[in-house]
Amino acid sequence: MTPPLVLRAADIVAERPDGTTDDIHFTEALAESVIGHATRPGELVLDPFAGYGTTLAVAVRMGRRAIGIELLEEHLEIARARTGDRATLIQGDARHLSRLVDGPVDLVLTSPPYATGGDLAEDPLAGYAAGDGDYDRYLEELASIFDQAASLLRPGGQLVINVGNVIASDGSVTPLASDLVRVVDPHLPVLGVTTLRWDEPPPGLDGDYLLWFARPVG
């Protein structure tokens, strides 16, 4: 595992893409730490929830190959602007990951869209479009996505998920990190959990973590 990592809240604002209001707490410093620890130059990094392209931009800057899947065209355009022709970007639904990407992949590094427990008025995996889903189905679909990711990994390749426990508007906390460990571990053995330390904790999160999984060798 990586050593404890102190992250700066100022980076969230500094790295916010022009013209957007989203506070994405997955920073370049976080991506750089994981990519540097888990891969070597020339290896392939995949982000199935590419978003604004942080994982991909850092990977290519560090001499890795990079591929990302992103559902929303407006996010994909920003990711393309950050990476140019140095990364492969595909517009698509991560729930169909195995149809969109061929392995082997050395590292899957991502932060999925978050949900709180109970019934979901919006579907996080459909770009927060209105839906009639629920938290258990959301977890099942994430488990399926990461099962597909596991099938793309080379033996010994790693899956690293950045996720926090989510504070709902009523103050209740959804233990998303531990729930993801529970549903992903049957598909890919968990190696451990790294607690992320922020100088100022991001609002809406009760703890922030890296979940480490690896495809067995042999």
Query: What does the pLDDT average to over 9-31?
Result: 86
Comparing C-alpha atoms, which of 86, 42, 88 is closest to residue 64? Answer: 42
Count helices and strands (H / E) in the chain.
Answer: 7, 11
Comparing C-alpha atoms, which of 185, 171, 168, 178 is closest to residue 118? Answer: 168
- Least confident segment among 55-59, 102-106, 128-132, 190-194: 128-132
Half-sphere exposure (CA, 13 Å, Cβ side) for 94? 30
The reported pTM is: 0.94
Angle in degrees, 0-180, between the axes of helices 54-61 and 73-83, rounded to the nearest 10: 10
Residue 218 has pLDDT above 80, yes or no: no
Structure tokens belonging to residue 142: 């994430």
Residue 62 has pLDDT above 90, yes or no: yes
Residue 17 has pLDDT above 90, yes or no: no
- Least confident segment among 18-27, 81-90, 165-174: 18-27
Residue 37 has pLDDT above 90, yes or no: yes
The percentage of residues in the chain with a pLDDT greater than 90, rounded to a whole number, is: 76
Residue 153 has pLDDT above 70, yes or no: yes
Cβ 176 vs Cβ 124: under 8 Å? no
3-state helix, strand, coil in the chain (%, to 5): 35, 30, 35
Predicted local confidence at residue 27, as pLDDT: 94
- Least confident segment among 54-68, 128-142, 195-209: 128-142
Cis, peptide link before residue 104, omega less than 30° from 0: yes
Confidence label for 181 from pLDDT (cuts 50, 70 and 90): very high
Long-range contacts of the stretch 173-177 (C-beta < 8 A, 24+)? 173/206, 174/115, 174/116, 174/117, 174/135, 176/114, 176/115, 177/207, 177/209, 177/211
Q: Which helix (H) or strand (E) segment is 65 a member of?
A: strand 65-70
Mean pLDDT in the chain?
92
Confidence label for 3 from pLDDT (cuts 50, 70 and 90): low
Predicted local confidence at residue 130, as pLDDT: 73
SS3 116: coil
Query: What does the pLDDT average to over 94-106?
Result: 96
The span from the CA of 94 to the CA of 49, in Å, is 7
Confidence label for 192 from pLDDT (cuts 50, 70 and 90): very high
Predicted local confidence at residue 4, as pLDDT: 63
Handedness of CA 177, 208, 87, 89 (dihedral sign): positive
Q: Per DSSP, which regions of 3-128 are E strands?
A: 5-7, 44-47, 65-70, 88-91, 105-110, 122-123
Q: Which residues lie below 8 Å from residue 21, measured CB to CB, with a gap of 6+?
A: none
Query: What does the pLDDT average to over 142-150?
Result: 97
Domains of the chain: 5-214 (3.40.50.150)
